[in-house]
Amino acid sequence: MAVTDKFYDVVIVGAGVGGGAMANRLANAGARVLVVERGNYLPREADNWSVKAVFHDKKYTTQELWRDKSGNAFNPSTFYFVGGNSKFFGAATVRFRKEDFEVLEHEAGVSPAWPISYEDFAPYYDEAERLMGTHGTAGEDPIEPPRSGPYPHPAIGHEPEIEAIAKKLRSKGVQPFSLPIAIDRHEGGKCIRCATCDGFACKLGAKNDAEVRLVGPALKTGLVDLVLDTKVLRFLTDTSGKKVTGIEVEQDDQKNTIHGDIFISAAGAINSAALLLRSANQKHPNGLGNNSSDQLGRNYMAHNNTAMMAIHPFRKNGVTFQKSLCINDFYLSNNVRPYPLGNVQGLGKLQGGMLSANVPFIPEWLMDHFAKRSVDWWIMSEDLPDPENRITLDSDGTIRVSYTSNNLKAHQELVKHWGKIMRSLGYPLILTQKMDITVSMHQCGTARFGTDPATSVLDQYSRVWDLDNLYVVDASFLPSSTGFNPSLTIVAQAVRVSEHLIANVLRSTTAA
């Protein structure tokens, strides 16, 4: 039977981390689920690990063009496949801190409180870590929030070069710990600890991305249909405007309508905002979810991110898998500044070609020389929600990302301080690159959840305030970006929303 003739309990737009986790939990509880994905499966092939294919030819990146606040077109580094952006993620699966759920004073302003406390959210982190297969060591992180037990898998350990750096850091009073990471590295696992993980797709299926850990197992229940290469154009509502009745989809230039009971937008923070804006109708002239608050698409955040190479010009760094170390000494109160600065974590090992793709005027041989002698870091600081940082649609339908970085002083201070520490460890040459608007990897916040319909787009279970049966379950819901990688928190919220739907909303699941 064609999916257009079937009726589903839940229709999910997007097979990324948010959509995949929803499909997984709902189907395991007996719900009939349809996932509509604009992309296809990413083929497992040699090019997955080719610097040329991934970074120069951009073989897997969308060809789409978006516009920045001045109207300049740019090609975003975003990926449309089963698994979404997690196909290329670094698999750092880190919990936000207890303080991230509360009002947190930053140098440039206030990071708002969440509608739920860390204590109430923690059980969903437990389940999210289990779903993603996170490795880590409880009790090592100096600002670790309370947790109910050990990680599902032990920390992956450091290669000798990274262990040596950790030791030197400790001698300087810094408290490095094992970065929580979701790769298939336990006994019998497929991961070979290669250099092409962070920023690449895994040819072996050994990275615990949303396809491998969430969508694949969901399909095995037999209760999930997945339609591919099908773009959702808009949500359709009934005449009252209170209920979504279906989605309009486009496949092979043909338009169709699919019906269901509950609808989940999990298209990613930018595309979910765009989709809800595109769904404007008579009852919702400014897009679905915009009537009560005019907040849809606003408060876009993406972190202040800097990649750093700490180079010893004469000593090679023989490390292969570098993303195993994390530093939180500067995340909350710290001895550098009287305000939070951010997180530092190992970056997947840089290769010369990855650098020359971004800085073409420096020859690849020189970049390669540096990359072989560098230790590489990802330095990440919170950007604060600003209603003027927003996603809108231009008159021709193109997505516009109007974004001006904020809280930059704290970020620059962290970059400077980490550079100083690296020099003191014997790496005299420091190269940094701040990520620009094209690097939308940590996009979030465009439909924040809250307790007040006047200031938020979603209620605390991610339901759009203005509609009875429309939910947004991807990075859109985050009211603050925090200074950590978002995927584990997206999965945790998906688990939470699924449990809420199963217990309170769905009519025909076995658990209902």
User: By the criterion CB under 6 A, which residues form the site for ligand FAD?
Assistant: 13-19, 36-39, 80-81, 84-86, 88-93, 199, 231-232, 266-269, 271, 275, 441-442, 474-475, 485-488, 490
Output the smallest distance, CB 476 to ligand FAD, in A: 7
3-state helix/strand/coil string of 38-101: CCECCCCCHHHHCHHHHHHCCCCCCCCCEEECCCCEECCCCCCECCHHHHHCCCECCCCCHHHH
Do 183 and 208 meet the contact criterion of CB atoms below 8 Å apart? Answer: yes
> Which CB atom, from 36 or from 413, has the smaller least distance to ligand FAD?
36
Closest distance to ligand FAD from the beta carbon of 13 (Å): 5
DSSP state, residue 283: S
* CA dist list (Å): 2 to 215, 225, 229, 339, 456: 20, 10, 15, 56, 37
CB of 80 to ligand FAD, least distance (A): 3
Pairing of strands 304-311, 429-434: antiparallel
Element (H, E) at 28: helix 17-28
The CB density around residue 334, as the number of other CB atoms within 10 Å, is: 17
The radius of gyration of the chain's CA atoms, rounded to the nearest angstrom, is 22
CB of 120 vs ligand FAD, minimal distance in Å? 21
Query: CB of 276 within 8 A of CB of 447?
Result: yes
**Comparison of 112 and 445: residue with beta carbon closer to ligand FAD:** 445
Q: How far is the CB of 305 from ligand FAD (least distance, A)?
A: 10
Comparing CA positions, the residue from 341, 342, 371, 343 lying closest to residue 356 is 371
Closer CB to ligand FAD, residue 290 or residue 462?
462
> Based on CB atoms, which residue is closest to ligand FAD, 39 or 112?
39
Q: What is the token pair recorded at 440?
A: 């939308």
* Nearer Cβ to ligand FAD (300/427): 300
- Rounded least distance, CB 128 to ligand FAD, Å: 11
**480/100 Cα distance (integer angstroms):** 8
**Residue 111 or 487 with smaller CB distance to ligand FAD:** 487
Minimum distance of ligand FAD from residue 181's CB (angstroms) = 8
CB of 443 to ligand FAD, least distance (A): 7
Q: Which residue is nearest to ligand FAD (CB)?
A: 16
> Would you say 16 or 450 has its CB closer to ligand FAD?
16
Q: Cβ closer to ligand FAD: 270 or 467?
A: 270
- Dump strand ranges (E) for 444-491: 470-472
CB of 312 to ligand FAD, least distance (A): 26
Structure tokens at 230: 């099908």
The least distance separating ligand FAD from the CB of residue 365, rounded to whole angstroms, comes to 25
* CB-CB contact of 206 with 184 (8 Å): yes
CA 456 to chain centre: 20
Q: Which is nearer to ligand FAD, 39 or 342 (CB)?
A: 39
Of 90 and 483, which CB lies nearer to ligand FAD in the complex structure?
90
Distant-in-sequence contacts of 183-192, Cβ < 8 A, 24+ apart: 183/91, 183/133, 183/135, 183/156, 183/207, 183/208, 184/133, 184/208, 184/212, 185/135, 185/153, 185/156, 186/133, 186/135, 186/153, 186/154
Q: Which is nearer to ligand FAD, 203 or 373 (CB)?
A: 203
Distance of closest approach, residue 125 Cβ to ligand FAD, in angstroms: 13
The pair of structure tokens assigned to 109 is 């302003």
Spell out the residues 6+ positions from residue 225 whose beta carbon is closer than 8 angstroms to its own: 3, 6, 8, 33, 34, 35
H/E stretch holding 366 reads: helix 364-372
